[in-house]
Structure 1
Amino acid sequence: MSIPHLFRCPISLDIFTDPVTLCTGQTYDRPCIERWLAAGHRTCPVTMQPLGDAALVPNRTLRHLIERWLSADHQISDATTPAAAAATSDDNAEEPSLAALKRCLQSGAGSGAKVAALKKGVALASESDVGRACMLQLGFLPVLLQLVFHAPTTRDLSEQEGLALQCALTLLPSSPASPQHGCLNMLKTEASLTSFVGLLARGPAAAKAGLCRLLETIATAAATRDLALAAAASPRVWQALLPLLRHDDERVSVAAVRAVAAICCAAEPARGSAVHHGAVPALLGCLAWASAGKGRGAAAWSALAALEALAASEAGRRAVARDPGAVRSLVRHVFMMSSSNEGSEHAVAALLAVCRESRAARTEAAAAGLVTQVLLLLQSQCGTRAKTRARSLLKMFKSM
């Protein structure tokens, strides 16, 4: 497709997915300009004018024009890569347009036709940035989610549902502020949530990892805050999610612990629900499991991040302090995560919160060799925040 110049972000040169305008009048794609501002820049990337106000104003007019343009029957063959072309070749048949693919997925067409359309969509979304952006703008994400979570089921994931989930995960925007995440709120319905939990419990490993990624997005996106709290309050979600923390497939275990960490970091009600449904012993078990095996550093790091978030609440601190061996486990991870001490900051922060309010926890931590571990950490190349928290922990134990 020949994309009009005005429909391309001046930073990424890809079609806009969420156009926002700065005070200078220049429009950028939200994820791109957020990365620019997060890097410390305080100028407009195009004009280099100083930004007195860094507010991002949604450009709804431009977004509407792009949606109208995408709704036209543009052919997608030029947007696909050779791999995508091989996946979609069809006895000299004319390549369909994006609009035609979407109509097929929304229609009452048979499973075979929808599977073929989904294979085209997966190839396009995975291998073409332009194709992915166009599909996102044209509204493929809610259509794909509907295909996955259309009704509660006791059977295994079908090929159609698996492809729809794969394509939906590829289309998920990276920015937590993206309004595109709003379509995930369809999971608020009882039928959709039941379908989600069923697939999380019984689906194949790839689907379980994908659903955990979806849950992490729900917990972090601004548009799905209420859904995140509803999911955190659901016993069924925790019953399906917590056993995945020590799944044989590393993709699943890492995705599951990241989802739990995201929920625990979401809001105070979510932390309370996590504690109530047994997240603390499950995370400590995951931490021991991850530390015992090679290549599980990501799972251990996320488990420590979740424990730090839980320790920020009174219920979480009590749960950690009551769990046999919890304090000792955290002490062991103050300086044993990796050569770069990744995760040490979370272990120190969790200990700081728990030991501040529990004399028994302080006694246990001291007996476990906390002071030695902290001194070793302070001599390492750990980050500034980790060192600051480590010094605070030392001051707390000075009288002991």
Structure 2
Amino acid sequence: MSIPYLFRCPISLDLFTDPVTLSTGQTYDRPSIEKWLADGNLTCPVTMQRLTDTTLIPNHTLRHLIHRWLLADPGVNCRHRPVRSAGDSDAGFSLLALKQKLQSSNTSRADKLDCLEKVRVLSVESDIGRACLIELGFFPLLLQLLFQYSVVVDSALAEAMLDCVLSLLASAQLDSLDMLKEHARLTSLELLLDQGNTKTKTSLCHLLKVIAASSATRELCLVVGESRRVLQALVSLLHDKSSIRASEAAVRAISGMCSLELNRSHAIRGGVVDGLVSHLSSPNPRTAAPALATLELLLTLEAGKKALVEHSDAIKVLVKMVFRMSTADHEGSEHALGSLLAVCCESEKARSEAMDAGVMTQLLLLLQSQCSSMAKAKARDLLKLMRSLWTEETRRL
């Protein structure tokens, strides 16, 4: 694919996806120049002039020209070659033709799956191809097709669409995801999380994680965080021992959503505390650290502490995590200790259960290990808190 020189970003050398102009008059692709500035550079990459104003002005003219160029002869500019079959014409492999097929209600299911596979391969194997797909609006189109009721009953279509969405996610304008604020689209998300197969649920968890991590979709994250059905589906994955990948993806999605304070109370009411404890009780969970970090955040609320204390195995699970995590993940150990401190400070029941679970041994082993200074500080605080109960138990013996 031959791209005109003026349509390439000077930094990435790829086709512009979102051209913006600096005060120096030079135009760059927004993701590239934002990364340049975020790295602490205060000069124009091309002219090396010092920037007194880092405002990025959208270059609508250039964007329009690129769009016209892409549509002028898509069979030449963005031909999809990797999955061609004998007898197909070049026009049949143009992006414009693919887009029209996906949009058409007359396209058969088999043809849609074929189109989606072509989009997926192009987006994965070619940076330029991915840029073309973004410029021609494939990302919002795929979202519209994915989050409609009809696709819920077709797991193969849902999987294929999600594969394409995730492959374009890093290059896309995430504000397109705001369509999920609409009741019908949100309902489709809930249905896919509830009724989709394991792969679909795992992919949706990855999407939720991205939504939670971006400032552009903060309001959407709050809307999703209020959905009881979304939370129930994620908690169900935490309890599910049959799919480790799905459970781990659910942890990351919940962790991201709970990074927003307003989502935490909804998460607690949705049973996230019990779900996280269940996940941590699995043999050697690889996402123990983010699960423990999320649990510690939820314990900043009284409802979170109450939910943890009422769980019959929660204290035992946390005590086991104190030293187990210190050997593999110091941060995870810190969060386990922070959670124990949060509940043991206020609950005699929690202190008693921690003592019965062998917390003193765990703390002493931790203090002799090569754990972080923060973990040791929290261990000492918990040791002081437990000392009175430990002394009383010793006297009884």
The answer to whether the superposition gives a TM-score over 0.5 is yes
Determine the structure 2 residue equivalent to 1:209.
202
Contact 1:261 1:309 in 2 (8 A): no
Q: Deviations over 1:191-212 (max 9, x none)?
A: 2222222222222221111111
Task: Give the partner amino acid of 1:286.
Answer: H
Contact 1:152 1:198 in 2 (8 A): no
Task: Give the partner amino acid of 1:124.
Answer: L
Alignment of 1:321-360 (within 5 A): 321-337=309-325, 339-341=328-330, 343-358=332-347, 360=349
From the superposition, tell whether residues 2 and 244 of structure 1 become closer, same or farther in structure 2 (CA, over 3 Å). same
SS of 1:87's partner is: coil
Q: Deviations over 1:249-269 (max 9, x none)?
A: 22211111111111111x222
Distance 1:354 1:63 in 2: 56
Contact 1:200 1:211 in 2 (8 A): yes
Distance 1:352 1:50 in 2: 50
Alignment of 1:164-313 (within 5 A): 164-173=161-170, 180-245=173-238, 246-265=240-259, 267-289=260-282, 292-293=283-284, 296-298=285-287, 300-313=288-301
Alignment of 1:94-173 (within 5 A): 94-95=90-91, 96-111=93-108, 112-151=110-149, 155-157=153-155, 159-173=156-170
Distance 1:277 1:153 in 2: 26
From the superposition, tell whether residues 335 and 151 of structure 1 become closer, same or farther in structure 2 (CA, over 3 Å). same
* TM-score, normalising length: structure 2: 0.81
Determine the structure 1 residue equivalent to 2:390.
none
Distance 1:379 1:14 in 2: 53
Please state how far the C-alpha of 1:236 moved relative to its aligned partner: 1.4
Determine the structure 1 residue equivalent to 2:374.
388
Distance 1:28 1:328 in 2: 55
* TM-score, normalising length: structure 1: 0.80
Unaligned residue ranges in structure 2 (runs of 5+) = 388-397
From the superposition, tell whether residues 339 and 49 of structure 1 become closer, same or farther in structure 2 (CA, over 3 Å). farther
Contact 1:72 1:99 in 2 (8 A): no
Q: Deviations over 1:317-353 (max 9, x none)?
A: 3322443332332232233135354633432343344
Task: Give the partner amino acid of 1:94.
Answer: D
Distance 1:58 1:323 in 2: 54
Distance 2:355 2:50 in 1: 52
When structure 1 is superposed on structure 2, of 357-366 and 228-237 the one drifting more is 357-366
When structure 1 is superposed on structure 2, of 341-350 and 144-153 the one drifting more is 341-350
From the superposition, tell whether residues 90 and 339 of structure 1 become closer, same or farther in structure 2 (CA, over 3 Å). same
The RMSD of aligned alpha carbons is 3.3
Contact 2:101 2:107 in 1 (8 A): no
Q: Deviations over 1:18-58 (max 9, x none)?
A: 455667766554544555566x64454836677777x5635
Determine the structure 1 residue equivalent to 2:74.
74
From the superposition, tell whether residues 76 and 396 of structure 1 become closer, same or farther in structure 2 (CA, over 3 Å). farther
1:88 aligns with 2:74: no
From the superposition, tell whether residues 30 and 352 of structure 1 become closer, same or farther in structure 2 (CA, over 3 Å). farther
Unaligned residue ranges in structure 1 (runs of 5+) = none
Please state how far the C-alpha of 1:369 moved relative to its aligned partner: 4.9
Task: Give the partner amino acid of 1:93.
Answer: S
When structure 1 is superposed on structure 2, of 268-277 and 366-375 the one drifting more is 366-375
Q: Deviations over 1:291-326 (max 9, x none)?
A: x15xx413x233223212212333323322443332
Please state how far the C-alpha of 1:379 moved relative to its aligned partner: 6.0
Give aligned-pair identity as a percent.
Answer: 47
From the superposition, tell whether residues 72 and 152 of structure 1 become closer, same or farther in structure 2 (CA, over 3 Å). same
Task: Give the partner amino acid of 2:14.
Answer: D
When structure 1 is superposed on structure 2, of 343-352 and 22-31 the one drifting more is 22-31
Distance 1:206 1:371 in 2: 42
Task: Give the partner amino acid of 2:17.
Answer: T
Distance 1:339 1:100 in 2: 51
Determine the structure 1 residue equivalent to 2:395.
none
| Largest Rg, 1 or 2 | 2
Distance 2:341 2:12 in 1: 42
From the superposition, tell whether residues 211 and 89 of structure 1 become closer, same or farther in structure 2 (CA, over 3 Å). same
Task: Give the partner amino acid of 2:58.
Answer: N
